[in-house]
Structure 1
């Protein structure tokens, strides 16, 4: 069992976003998309959050 299996997509998105923008970043998480079969919901959310934070321009 993966350590991320019990965490949600939203948990992953928040952690991924804050890994780029910092722990006090303000954002709205998007609607949960369809999950890729090869990733846990947490892993997919983390990747999406990290990518969204990297694309954001202040």
Structure 2
């Protein structure tokens, strides 16, 4: 996700969540994107674990 966000930032593409725009280069934007990345990674691992249990 970090690579994806860096690519968007290099191309001056704005990121929005709801009605707010967040700059991933400032501290609040960085915290937001890292938090979202952690949730996405957790969910991905959880899906894999549930899939293994179902086999």
TM-score, normalising length: structure 1: 0.33
Larger RCO, structure (CA 8 Å, separation 6 or more) = 1
